[in-house]
DNA sequence: TTCATTTTTTAGGCAGGACTAAAAATAAAT
DNA sequence: ATTTATTTTTAGTCCTGCCTAAAAAATGAA
């Protein structure tokens, strides 16, 4: 029996493999995937067999898994849908950037050829989602011309603008809200404190190492 | 084992029972439901057992099924979500009223407490969907102050405005598009043709009986 | 009322996706 | 090179939601 259509569950697995492949190098382990999709390793093993049969992944037992071109195409499309929905939810419906993940996680699986193109146009063809992540184009390419570094790599006196987050967990996002930090926030590092990795930010007080290393920024000028 | 959450499938069944209960009188038959949800009667029997266990329907074997208050609440909410999404798709994304049904059929099952209230506000609290059907309020009430009749009940010389459709199949909707008939179309019956039930409409040519009996209208004045 | 027809339910299966427990392969440590 | 620990897969179950085939109940005619 040939599996023809990627179900919601399969789409989530493909997306997870895509992300993990991007982060690490080489094939993705069953354990890492299990952690990511919140399922037991045994369940992942079963799903990988399906995905391999469908031609979406290459899987050698005990040796990890990697996406085929077909699998990557689907993964990128799911990510595109996820991020476009996030833009809609935040920009149009007024949700906070910490509230939209679970919702987009469902909406990304709605199946319709024309829908995402129309939503994309309606939103004005956004290039980035509310967390600063690039939105793949409908042809499957992912364009990101930005030169981002994490804020903990800035030198004293350098000024920069927040463009994204490394950790996009609700908790971190809400913490940034509390600190008044969001996408577009401009700041300048006055002084580093080597003892704990924190830094004084001109006019904004102290930012901890945990915050700084999770901010993607673009240096001014 | 108690079933706690209505799945997408269960929601579709509850919605179907709601509509059929509204149309006919008395409990809904397994066969009618089977037709509506496009599943075999045997499958419906199985699902009814689940729904009864969940407390969403009352079901006596061989005697038909009816919604409990809990079941009706869910059904109305699914309909609310369906119609709000339809408004979004037609009014904001520019889909035709004949293109949105399948899409709304998926979107109606997205689970999120706050989403529909925000979408409702974003759309300006619409009272009717693109097919002229009333959108239930978030408190579960369905308000429709209109006095609608089907156009085949109009008298010669009466003028009226199209407010809805009896048959909302894609085919009928596209036929109306071809004839230039839509919600808000005002017209006046010049003359009835008893032979085939068609009528001459002032300045708009001939409308057939099949069209007239499927239009909900409000009489002018 | 009895028999034929229609409707509905039960019985038995299958596929998808999850789980636990146990076995097998790989990796790490003596 | 063994032994031990970790990772991954297999085996066996369960639940959901559908199916077909067969049995049972209700309906309607004769
Ligand atoms: Mn998802
Ligand atoms: Mn995002
Ligand atoms: Mn549906
Ligand atoms: Mn509608």
Q: Which domains does chain A have, with CATH numbers?
A: 8-67 (1.10.10.10), 80-144 (1.10.10.10), 149-219 (2.30.30.90)
Q: How confident is the model at residue A6 (pLDDT cuts 50, 70, 90)?
A: confident
Classify burial at A114, counting beta carbons within 10 Å of its beta carbon; exposed 0-12, middle 13-18, buried 19 or more.
exposed
Give protein residues whose Cβ lies within 7 A of nucleic acid chain C: A 1, 3, 7-10, 37-40, 42-43, 46-47, 50, 62; B 29-32, 41-42, 44-46, 48-49, 59, 61-62, 64
Mean pLDDT, rounded, for A94-99: 98
Strand partners, A217: A149, A162
Residue to test with chain B: of A7, A92, A104, most B Cβ within 10 A: A92
Mean pLDDT, rounded, for A184-208: 97
Q: CB-based contacts of A109: which residues, under 8 Å, 6+ apart? A: A8, A11, A78, A81
Q: What Å value separates CA A20 and C1' C2?
A: 73
Q: What Å value separates CA A20 and C1' C27?
A: 22
Q: What percent of chain A has pLDDT over 70?
A: 98
Chain C bases near protein CB atoms (7 A cut-off): 7-12, 15-22, 25-26
- Single out the residue of B174, B146, B177, B151 nearest to residue B162, CA to CA: B151
Running along chain B, 221 residues long, what does each successive block of 10 average in pLDDT?
75 98 94 98 97 96 97 98 98 98 97 95 98 97 97 97 97 98 98 96 97 97 74
The per-residue pLDDT for A4 is 64
Residue to test with chain A: of B8, B86, B103, B117, most A Cβ within 10 A: B103
Mean pLDDT, rounded, for A18-44: 96
CB A97 within 8 A of CB A131: yes
The per-residue pLDDT for B4 is 66
B119 vs A93, A115, A119: nearest CB: A93
The per-residue pLDDT for B145 is 96
Mean pLDDT, rounded, for A71-79: 97
CB B172 within 8 A of CB B165: yes
């Amino acid at each position: 029996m040939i599996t023809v259509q990627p179900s919601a569950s399969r789409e989530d697995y493909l997306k997870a493999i895509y992300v993990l492949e991007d982060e690490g190098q080489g094939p993705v382990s069953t354990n890492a995937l299990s952690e990511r999709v919140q399922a037991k390793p045994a369940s992942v093993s079963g799903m990988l067999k399906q995905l391999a049969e469908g031609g979406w992944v290459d899987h050698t037992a005990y040796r990890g898994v990697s996406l085929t071109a077909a699998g990557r195409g689907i993964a990128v499309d799911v990510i595109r849908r996820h991020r476009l929905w996030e833009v809609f939810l935040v920009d149009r419906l007024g949700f906070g950037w910490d509230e939209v993940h679970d919702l987009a996680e469902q909406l990304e699986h709605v199946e319709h050829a024309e829908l995402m193109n129309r939503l994309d146009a309606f939103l004005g063809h956004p290039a980035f989602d509310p967390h600063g992540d690039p939105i793949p184009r409908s042809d499957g390419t992912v364009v990101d011309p930005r030169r981002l570094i994490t804020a903990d790599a800035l030198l004293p006196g350098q000024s920069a603008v927040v463009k994204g987050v490394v950790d996009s967990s609700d908790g971190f996002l809400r913490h940034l809200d509390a600190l008044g930090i969001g996408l577009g926030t401009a700041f300048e590092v006055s002084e580093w404190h080597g003892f704990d990795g924190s830094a004084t930010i001109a006019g904004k007080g102290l930012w901890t190492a945990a915050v700084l290393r999770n901010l993607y920024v673009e240096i001014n000028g």
